[in-house]
Amino acid sequence: MARIFITGSSDGLGLMAGQRLAREGHEVVLHARNTDRGEVARRALPNAAQIDIGDVVTIAGMRSVAEQANAIGHFDAVIHNVGIGYREARRLETRDGLSHLFAINVLAPYLLTALMERPDRLVYLSSGMHPGGIPDMDDLQWTRRRWSGSQAYAETKFLNVLLAFGVARHWPAVRSNALEPGWVPTRMGGPGAPDDMAAAPVTQAWLAVGDDPATRVTGRYFYHQREKSPEPSTRRVGLQEALLDRCATLSGVPLP
């Protein structure tokens, strides 16, 4: 039995992955942004070992979630599922002065990775939109450019792959991989999304606990349990390091 922590798991793909892992007999810890969402998650997965509460839109909230997770002990795997979509009509700013989209989709998985005890496996959710999201590394917060919600979202998903690959290089003993679950009809994806909902949570659960040779890798990108080539620029060490440096500066916490 493995112990798995899944961020952003009060509904959608995070909850579905948690339900799948719990059915397989694993110890699952969920995460919700507030107590109301936590109660929803508890009803959906009554046998969850714990539900951590914290809104990762702020650095303080990210730190709180990491502290709650560390209080439980070592996790075999962490699935960084938390994220918001591409429908923000304008740039929203957090109390930390960050882009709302960047804070939740990028800085939260970075800071949780940096603050939590190292698990054996890390799984980061990206998107099939990431190839169109090669970012402006000098304007990750979208303070200079005219806002585009879809482009900003695609950039965060590109950055998720950079993060997974950068962590894989820095922590070779940890299996750190990224995946795209497909465009599915979740609250984020919308009702018209065409991909298979049943298949969407499978790969992240498989990467978290699977024993077959295909899961014994690091620094790879997956789609429906098969390796897929990510946008080639995600392999650039300079971009990976630039992201890690910027996240360390913004959060005040370097990757150990």
In the sheet that holds 27-32, the strands lie side by side as: 50-53, 27-32, 3-6, 77-80, 121-125, 175-180, 221-223, 226-227
Tokens 């950068």 label which residue? Answer: 166
Q: Which residues pair with 73 in a beta bridge?
A: none
Closest CA to 11 of 49, 46, 37: 37
Closest CA to 140 of 156, 164, 120, 119: 156
Tokens 């997974």 label which residue? Answer: 164
Q: What is the set of active-site residues?
A: 153, 157
Residue 76 CA to residue 63 CA, distance in Å, equals 20
Query: Widest CA span of the chain, in angstroms?
Result: 49
